[in-house]
Amino acid sequence: MFTDARSLPAGSTLQADICIVGAGVAGISIAREFIGRSEKVVLLEGGGLEFTKSLRNLPTVLRRHFLGEQALTRGRNAGEPYYPLRFTRVRAFGGSSRAWHERRGVHARPLDAVDFETRDGLPEHGWPIDRAQLIPYYERAQQVCGLGPFAYDTKTWETQGCGAPLPLNPELVESVIFKFGRRSKFDRYEDDFARAGNVNLVLHANAVNLADEGGRVQRIDCATLTGNRFRVQARTFVVAAGAIETARLLLASRDSQPAGIGNNRDLVGRCFMEHPDAAVGYLIPHPELDRSAFRLYQHQPAGENLTVEAMFKLSDATLRKERLLNSVLRLQPTYQSGMTAAVRSAQVVRRSVHFGVPTPGLAKHALRSVLGAPQIIRHYATWRSGRPSEVYGIDVMAEQTPSTSSRVRLARRRDRLGVPTTILDWQLTNLDWDSIRRTVEIFGHAVREAGVGTVISSLEGKDYPPAVYGNWHHLGTTRMHCDPAHGVVNENCRVHEMTNLYIAGGSVFPTGGYANPSLTIVALSLRLADHLKSASNRRPIVSNALQQSEAGFETQDEGLSLVKR
């Protein structure tokens, strides 16, 4: 069932067994697991059922409405150059999956086994669970995401005619498979909730405060942009609002804990991680090498609305030996003309302007683009001609080391609902840059040794790549660790300092690997849902005493909402 929070009577209280904040990938995955069960679930979403990337053609009244809700995600960047924060998150049913590419919506790959290990030379590495424990949930997540079979080995796709991996030394470099699904299914689960009698999806409901007492969350205070205020009381609470908004809500909830809920050790908001993305060089194939040898490294149809593509990573043995962070290298077909400084600068300017990232040295890149305009015109004319590629650009998507200096914190400024806005201080370390540089060096050696071609690195003589971007992969601000001195949540995603508060989503990642996080987020969410199902059999349903404890607030019968449609 659906409820529009703007239509609730002012000051009302909704009752539930489980309250979930955020109807994104994580929140939807958990809530769907309870459809048809005895537990009553309230799923809070700050936006509506609809979302549009472009507001240009909307009437003024609707444009103001969408800008109003999306404006609640605004914040300030104080570290590495990054996208305007309001662009990197979506307030609508489906969450940020609504902003995924239409044809290649979900980018999927599970984390590698080595990503879960505690490794020498890498600070704060290691998960309290291993990959084997997640495999059953990864398999279920495949179906939730509409990604077909759980198959990420090159052999499976080679036998299906997608091409063979390049013959690089497997002791140094491996080829790994990524899957791409056509548009997310998450915003299409709307009908599931419309028919659910025990799950109440409350739209336009913004959680503004967690009220706790004696180590338990008692209620969530909610607000709408129309001025309506209400509460949700539940036995168990799950915050699944993304790494930035989750940290913001915990830090802003200071009724009984001055530093914020779960933040007695100043860890909430710390260790913010992204997947740094940069152009790091070129691969010039050997003249006698057939270009079909690279077919597996381009998008290949792999079923209805599904494609696969291979990329390169260093072997686990090499990562351990060299004490390197994990990363993946992707090939981008291009031409010799694309290797000129003018064309490279034009690409930096285009991406920086398109995404609103204040790249260092942008004026220099713009000037070089203007002076090299004839080269740029020739390059794009060649590209439009459809001529086969001559070389391959190399992009990296890298793991970032968890660093407490990379963080989300609260600003003095408040949004329209009275909640402090966020400051994102994204920080990269020397280890991040050194790992990327060494990865490219080892890959170049393997390519040369196999006779495949020559790798030209664009990192030689530089401290870091000329233009680095994130991927909207927000991770790590409430990281998982068995020891509360090193993490905010335990291995079951429960906040260490609270008995009934859980966190879902990328914020619980202790480390991020290189893989797009959505598949792992869904797998962890399904694992949490199973844990909550088990816990629900051991704990009593919300008592009548609790339901009546808030004088002056109207209690909803049987945990259901006032407005249905």
In DSSP notation, 14-32 reads EEEEEEEE--SHHHHHHHH
- The model's pLDDT over 259-280, given as tens digits with 9 standing for 90+, comes to 999 999 999 999 999 999 999 9
Q: Which of 531, 232, 252, 564 is nearest to 417 (CA)?
A: 252
Neighbour tally for 72: CB within 10 Å = 19
CA dihedral 71, 72, 73, 74 (to 10 degrees): 60
- The model's pLDDT over 17-72, given as tens digits with 9 standing for 90+, comes to 999 999 999 999 999 999 999 999 999 999 998 875 544 444 444 444 446 788 89
- 177 or 189: which carries more pLDDT confidence? 177
Confidence (pLDDT) at 442: 98
Assigned domain for 131 exists: no
Name the domain count of the chain. 1
Q: What is the mean pLDDT of residues 177-195?
A: 83
Confidence (pLDDT) at 154: 95
**Interatomic CA distance for residues 68 and 414, integer angstroms:** 14
Q: Which of 509, 432, 71, 431 is nearest to 270 (CA)?
A: 509
177 and 166 Cβ atoms separated by less than 8 Å: no
Confidence (pLDDT) at 561: 34
- 88 or 247: which carries more pLDDT confidence? 247
Neighbour tally for 112: CB within 10 Å = 21
- Per-residue burial over 113-148, b = 16 or more CB atoms within 10 Å of its CB, e = otherwise: ebbbbebeebebbbbbeebeebeebbebbbebbbbb
Assigned domain for 176 exists: no
DSSP state, residue 554: P
Between 110-124, 167-181, 375-389, 489-503, the lowest mean confidence (pLDDT) is in: 375-389
Confidence grade of residue 394 (pLDDT, cut at 50, 70, 90): very high
Question: Residue 15's beta-bridge partner residues?
Answer: 233
Confidence (pLDDT) at 563: 32
Q: Which of 442, 215, 226, 164 is nearest to 323 (CA)?
A: 442
pLDDT at 5 over 90: yes
pLDDT at 286 over 80: yes
**Interatomic CA distance for residues 503 and 492, integer angstroms:** 9
Confidence grade of residue 193 (pLDDT, cut at 50, 70, 90): very high
pLDDT at 104 over 90: no
Confidence (pLDDT) at 47: 92
> Crossing angle for the helix pair 373-384 and 362-371, nearest 10 degrees?
80
User: Can you give the CATH number for the domain in which 74 is found?
Assistant: 3.50.50.60
Confidence (pLDDT) at 201: 97
Q: What is the mean pLDDT of residues 524-546?
A: 72
- Say whether 294 sits in a helix, a strand or coil: helix
Confidence (pLDDT) at 465: 67
pLDDT at 383 over 90: no
User: Which residues form the domain of 205?
Assistant: 1-52+60-103+185-273+404-426+476-544
**Interatomic CA distance for residues 65 and 71, integer angstroms:** 10
Q: Which of 476, 418, 536, 516 is nearest to 17 (CA)?
A: 536
Q: State the sign of the Cα–Cα–Cα–Cα dihedral 208, 41, 473, 521.
A: positive
Assigned domain for 416 exists: yes
- Could you give phi then psi for residue 442, rounded to 5 degrees? -65, -40
330 and 193 Cβ atoms separated by less than 8 Å: no
**Interatomic CA distance for residues 412 and 284, integer angstroms:** 52
Residue by residue, DSSP assigns 432-493 as HHHHHHHHHHHHHHHHHHTTSEEEEES-TT-SS-SS-B--S--B-TT-B-SSTTT-SB-TTS
Longest dimension (CA), the chain: 81
Assigned domain for 554 exists: no
Confidence (pLDDT) at 63: 45
Assigned domain for 283 exists: no
- 89 or 240: which carries more pLDDT confidence? 240
Where is mean pLDDT largest: 74-88, 400-414, 464-478?
A: 400-414
- The model's pLDDT over 535-545, given as tens digits with 9 standing for 90+, comes to 765 554 444 33
Q: Which of 550, 483, 521 is nearest to 246 (CA)?
A: 521
pLDDT at 402 over 60: yes
Confidence grade of residue 552 (pLDDT, cut at 50, 70, 90): very low
Look at strands 391-398 and 216-223 and give their pairing: unpaired
Residues 6+ apart with CB under 8 A from 184: 25, 94, 97, 98, 100, 105, 106, 145
Confidence (pLDDT) at 385: 79
- Say whether 211 sits in a helix, a strand or coil: strand
- The model's pLDDT over 203-250, given as tens digits with 9 standing for 90+, comes to 999 999 999 999 999 999 999 999 999 999 999 999 999 999 999 999
Confidence grade of residue 99 (pLDDT, cut at 50, 70, 90): confident
Assigned domain for 261 exists: yes
- Say whether 134 sits in a helix, a strand or coil: helix
The fraction of the chain above a pLDDT of 90, given in percent, is 69
Between 39-43, 117-121, 198-202, 532-536, the lowest mean confidence (pLDDT) is in: 532-536
**What's at 273, amino acid-wise?**
M
Confidence (pLDDT) at 212: 96
Residue by residue, DSSP assigns 503-533 as E-SGGG-S---SS-SHHHHHHHHHHHHHHHH
Assigned domain for 267 exists: yes
Confidence (pLDDT) at 217: 97
**Interatomic CA distance for residues 456 and 466, integer angstroms:** 15
Between 47-61, 156-170, 338-352, 353-367, the lowest mean confidence (pLDDT) is in: 47-61
pLDDT at 344 over 70: yes
Gap between the terminal Cα atoms of the chain: 7
Confidence (pLDDT) at 70: 84
Mean pLDDT score of the chain? 88
- Say whether 112 sits in a helix, a strand or coil: coil
**What's at 294, amino acid-wise?**
F
What's CA 36's distance to the chain center, in Å? 29
Confidence (pLDDT) at 103: 57
529 and 127 Cβ atoms separated by less than 8 Å: no
Give the global pTM: 0.91
- The model's pLDDT over 162-185, given as tens digits with 9 standing for 90+, comes to 999 999 999 999 999 999 987 566
Assigned domain for 535 exists: yes
The fraction of the chain above a pLDDT of 70, given in percent, is 89
